[in-house]
Structure 1
Amino acid sequence: MKNITALAASTFLCLALAGCGGGSPQATPAVTHVVTETATATVTATATVPAAPTPAAVVAPAAAPAVPATALIPVNVVGMNAEALDDDLSALGFQKVIYNSDTGKTVLLLSNWTVTGVDNAGAEQATSKAVVVHVTK
């Protein structure tokens, strides 16, 4: 009798559950799983580097000749080619040389001009200060 009661209860339960669906079976929703994986690789390498040989003596590079802070402006320059005087003044360390034409023309090509004089000839002057050279064609 217990078996019949249990059978009847389970049948009732199955019928009750089947009746809850409204008479038509429901479709099972489709489930999509997106899986993103990131791969990370770690590589560890060990290298043995031989020690560099130590030099017996380290030779320092030769220093450039120092430009003097002052220099003597040349005296005997009258009649000299302006380009040759420009080379001499540069060798003495003068950084600014101004060429003044006696005729008022612009001095462009030094090899075409002749020196007629120089301001402060024979004086010692700072090499950073301008030297004025007078020239003619």
Structure 2
Amino acid sequence: MTDPQPFVPILTVMVDYGNAPFLWCVDAPKEVGVGGNICDGTGWDETCPMSEGLWRKFADWAIEFDRTSFYSEDFDASGWDWVAFHERGLQLSQWLKDEVGNAYRVVYAKPCEDPDGRLDERREVLADGTLVQLPAFR
């Protein structure tokens, strides 16, 4: 019998509201969901699992989301380009995977504000750039 694969912590790239959080970490095998928030748009420090330059790119992306009033009555959904937003998020996720290597798994998750959020909701970014569809949490 072979030994099971060792646990690899999971970094999930997923934007949310309030200080532009964008990176979450599951660092224990029994932890569920996306884990705790470990990076947001308020500032970089040495505990972030990425370079300061990459953090700045992530922060700019997350702050743009954080400042968008998806729930306001006057929000014009036609002015928000989800395709471009996700392309940028996936590119950032690939750069993150390049920086962290095999020390972490990297997953990109769409925010619930995306009207098509259930399509390709969660994808793992592999080292070679391949995207692997993961099951939804819902």
TM-score by structure 2 length? 0.20
TM-score by structure 1 length? 0.20
More helix by share: 2
Larger Rg over CA atoms: 1
